[in-house]
Structure 1
Amino acid sequence: MVSAALFISLLVFLIFNLPVGIAIGLSSLVAILVGGTLSPGYLAQALVTGTDSFPIMAIPLFILAGELMGAGGVSKRILNVANVFFGRITGGLAIVTVVVCMFFAAVSGSGPATVAAVGSMVIPTMLAKGYSKSFTLALIACAGSIGVIIPPSIPMVIYGVSTGTSISSLFIAGFMPGILIGLALILWCYIYCKKQGWEGDEEPFSWKRSLEAIWDAKWALINPIIILGGIYGGIFTPTEAAAVAAVYAFICGVFIHKELKLRSLISTIGGACSTTGTTMVILGCATAFTKILTIEQIPAMITNAIINATDNTIVILLLINILLLVVGCFMDTTPAIMVLSPILLPVALSIGLSPVHFGIIMVVNLSIGFITPPLGINLFVAARIGSEPLETVTRGIIPFITVMIVCLLLVTYFAPISMFLPNLLMR
């Protein structure tokens, strides 16, 4: 009865287009009132306790760091470096976009932030160079989803907090899947642009120009080395690394590049606060939702149902991936991880997967949700930046979703892609 009230009310609230965090909170309240096991005051308590965690402090700090880097000129300088080395290849500007998104992912941890920061620079240029609108906007929407796979990654922090998995191990495991997806997107861009006849820049390679671009971007290029090197070198924790990233981005934007003025600084901090507030409400409400799931033993029931349906590991993983792909169409990454990781992790453990490998599968899978309608937040961000209707983006997104799903299957069924680096560094 309580489980039915929980999920039916959640579905109804989502159908009425309530914000996801509010829908999760209200459905939790309905279940509490129906069940009577918890007091209604528990929901208010969960809003506090669900966000009262040292690792979760990394989320607002990484969000702020991403906003500051976009406004402070860091992204622009990374783009110039990538263009010097890859701009002459067929489809060079498309390839440069993927490379910049991969690099920006190593300092922001957010998919929409990556789309906003990189897209505002490359979309006008690509359109001016003759790339089609649907391809351009779909590309930046898809490449931006790498922002949650290459560490640092906000969804990995959420998963680590929700399941007790080492966040540092998740960060290490995310490198190779992120690079795999980046290379796959680059290959598709080259093939498609070759077919369309979209050539690269005609300007010949110059060491002088290359070194000048690298020198101008030196502070931007050092950023991920400081952040990730500090984490893996044991100098600071992922949460402390987020603080370092935010401070470093502020220093670069205000004192080094001098492009972050007072007015833009205020609006940048305001944007980060808005995103953080939304995320924290989702986290708090998802804490109450997860508690009710545990009380009602729903994770155990789903685990038994899947295992009883089949004992074939390949089929079980396929069913989990299909479920996550469908959920990603309708639910944002953060609440999806908060709600589903306690349910699905026992299933993964029962078939011999490590929590780290399964965490990477979840993050890669749900990153596809950034580019799948109707939720697809990256699609909306790309459409807004390109000043085009959403239909323009969705027309070009199918090939990119296909590439992402192929990479997801490789990550799912070939564990070394995720686990090689963690196993190597843990010896």
Structure 2
Amino acid sequence: MTDGTWITLISIAVTIFFMLGTPVLLVIFYWVIGCSFVIDLPIDNTGNELLNVFNKGFALLAMPLFILTGDLINQSGIARRLSDFAYSCLGWLRGGLAMAALAACGLFAAISGSNSATTATIGSMLHPEMVKGGYDERFSAATAAAGGTVGIIIPPSIIFIVYGFLMNLPISDLFIAGIVPGTLMVLAMMTSAFIICTLNGWGFLIKLSPMRVIKTAIGAWLGFFAIGLVLWGIYSGKFSPTEAAGVTVGFCIIVGMISYPLNKIMGDSTEKPVEAKSLASMFVVEGFTLMSLPTVVSRSAQITGILVPLIAVSVAMQQVMSSLGAKEVVGEFVTGMGGYHAVLFTSMAIVFVTGMILESLPVTIILAPILAPIAMSVGIDPIHFAVIFLVGASIGFVTPPYGLNLYVASGVTGVPYFRLLRYTVPYLVALISIWFIVALVPDLSLMLLPAR
């Protein structure tokens, strides 16, 4: 058999493994090893590539720290305070709790940088409240899944760190470029939620109370401070993204460990809503003990232990694909489409289709080095293209058949995967609309960047 036939058979085999539930890491690894044998690429070369990722991956150090930050703000109660504030501002509108869940996803994303963590945290907190508040449980689960998409767009973002590492772009510039598009994504989804809930009459309304807004804002001040600390440090150049991640982790640990004994002294139950707490206790969150810290760190380490090897093996896959000439084939196909807009829309289509079957990490590692140089050759700004690419990848989190956020939302809410698909459609329409607007209006991504 020819090399092409062998590679086709290997690709079919690993696709079957993937459909049977084999982890993506192993699927990619099997493909890399099998193809290496076929094209006579030394196996030790694969080992060297894996090692080089870790040796040259200083920028990747921010990733486990931001993952840990997400777990810490959830464990400490900061995430709950942010969602309470969002509800106090929006609860007077039809669908206010759904919109509050989406706003809370945006606020959580501005500290954690992870889509699945955003979906899991906000879904587990607000899904029961939404069901009790008269919302359809399928819509509530779909809202948590859709809201999580901004976890990799609103800075800090784990996937922006990976993209910047791969393409040698300033990660701080990528973070800043994601602010406006991420905000627009949240607003578009909130508009969809308002329309859906108005048509169906879902949700109980609460009176807009300025005093309640003020109290919940005071209760959420530590979350706002953490968001401001990250953005100020990166935007002003005081911190690198890695340093910002370290500072935020330290801040969350200090806040959590100081808040716990203070809450005990004040005697306010952690189950009370913020507006029912004493004024003094609103300035501290629920917190956690030193004994609970190893569990939080262990949970974050498990996620990091999944992501980092996946990055390494995807880089090895990229080398094999390069040896097979995949870069040239895709490059000729995209370039052959024509000029600026043809290349732009073809690249978007490739990212969208690939994101339907793969997680954003392998999509980024495999496709970004192929598509980004082509985009730059027709005049697309590399920072702008990065935002376009990653907004498209984020939409894949709620696009079947893969749709990682759909699985996460299903897991934390108990709603079967296929039952919540129907209610993701309006959110998909909103997200895709914003994606095209961001692609066609570069200033939305570049307006906050310093002069370059």
Is the TM value for this pair above 0.5?
yes
Q: Which runs of 4+ in 1 moved over 4 A?
A: 1-8
Deviation at 1:200, TM superposition (A): 4.7
Gaps of 5+ in 2: 260-284
Equivalent position amino acid for 2:14 in 1: F
Relative contact order higher in (CA < 8 Å, ≥ 6 apart): 1
Is contact 1:6–1:31 with CA below 8 Å preserved after alignment? yes
**Structure 1 residue 288: Cα displacement:** 1.1
1:418 maps to 445
Q: Is the CA contact (8 Å cut-off) linking 1:10 and 1:23 kept in structure 2?
A: no
Q: Does 1:339 align with 2:357?
A: no
- Is 1:226 the counterpart of 2:251? The answer is no
Give the superposition deviation at 1:396: 1.1
Distance 1:294 1:204, change over 3 A: closer
Instruction: Provide, for residues 82-124 of structure 1, a one-character-per-residue CA deviation record: whole Å limited to 9, x for no partner.
Output: 1221111121101111111111111111000001111111100
- 1:236 CA drift (Å): 1.1
Matched, 1:43 2:35: no
* Alignment correspondent of 2:297: 269
For the 8 Å contact 1:170–1:359, the answer to whether it is kept is: yes
The 5 Å alignment of 1:112-151 reads 112-151=116-155
**155-164 or 410-419: bigger deviation:** 410-419
Report the CA distance between 1:198 and its aligned residue. Answer: 2.6
User: Do the aligned partners of 2:257 and 2:288 also contact (CA within 8 Å) in 1?
Assistant: yes
Q: In the TM superposition, what whole-angstrom CA distance separates every residue of 1:57-103 from its partner, at most 9, and x where no partner exists?
A: 11111111111111110100101111221111121101111111111
Name the structure 2 match of 1:87.
Answer: 91
Task: Tell me if structure 1 keeps the 8 A contact 2:133–2:204.
Answer: no
Give yes or no for contact 1:58–1:239 (8 Å, CA) kept in 2.
Answer: yes
Asked if 1:212 is matched to 2:215, the reply is yes
Whichever residue aligns with residue 69 of structure 1, its letter is: I
> Distance between the aligned counterparts of 1:165 and 1:6, measured in 2?
33
Contact kept in structure 2, 1:84 and 1:210, CA below 8 Å: yes
Q: Does the Cα contact within 8 Å between 1:51 and 1:283 map onto a contact in 2?
A: no
Counterpart amino acid of 2:451?
M
Q: Indicate how the Cα distance of structure 1 residues 50 and 5 shifts in structure 2: closer, same or farther if over 3 A, else same.
A: farther
Using the aligned pairs only, state the percent identity.
31
Q: Confirm or deny that 1:58 pairs with 2:59.
A: no
Matches within 5 A, 1:7-406: 9-17=10-18, 18-36=22-40, 38-52=41-55, 53-207=57-211, 209-256=212-259, 257-262=285-290, 264-308=292-336, 310-406=337-433
For residue 236 of structure 1, give the secondary structure of its aligned residue in structure 2: coil
Question: What's the CA shift for 1:21?
Answer: 1.6
- 2:123–2:412 CA contact under 8 A, matched in 1: yes
> What is the distance in 1 between the residues matched to 2:173 and 2:5?
36
C-alpha distance 203-280 of structure 1, shift in aligned 2 (>3 A): same
How many residues were matched structurally?
A: 422
Cα separation, 2, equivalents of 1:4 and 1:313: 36
> Once the 2 structures are TM-superposed, how far is the Cα of residue 8 of structure 1 from its aligned partner?
5.6
The C-alpha deviation readout for 1:275-310, integer Å capped at 9, x for no partner, is 1011011011012112223344432332123222x2
> Match for 2:239: what amino acid?
F
2:54 partner SS: coil
What is the alpha-carbon distance in structure 2 between the residues aligned to residue 408 and residue 101 of structure 1?
A: 18
1:5–1:250 distance in 2 versus 1, CA, 3 Å: farther
CA deviations 1:325-362 (Å, max 9, x no partner) are 11111111111101111111122112211111111111
1:13 deviates by: 1.3
SS in 1 for 2:421: helix
Paired residues of 1:25 and 1:43 also in contact (CA < 8 A): no
Partners of 2:148 and 2:101 in 1: how far apart? 9
Instruction: Answer yes or no: is the 8 Å Cα contact 1:65–1:246 preserved in 2.
Output: yes
In the alignment, the residues of structure 2 paired with residue 46 and residue 22 of structure 1 have an alpha-carbon distance, to the nearest angstrom, of 16
Residues in 2 aligned to 1:325 and 1:7: alpha-carbon distance in whole angstroms: 23
The AA in structure 1 aligned to 2:94 is: T
Opposite residue 251 of structure 1, the aligned amino acid is: I
* One-letter amino acid of the structure 2 residue matched with residue 426 of structure 1: A
Question: Following TM superposition, by how much is the alpha carbon of 1:233 offset from its aligned partner in structure 2, in angstroms?
Answer: 1.1
Gap change, CA 1:237 and 1:258, over 3 Å in 2 = same
Distance 1:290 1:254 in 2: 44
Per-residue deviation at 1:266?
A: 3.0
Higher mean displacement: 400-409 or 121-130: 400-409
Say what the alpha-carbon RMSD is for the aligned residues: 1.9
Q: Displacement, 1:391?
A: 1.6
Change (3 A) 1:2 1:252: farther
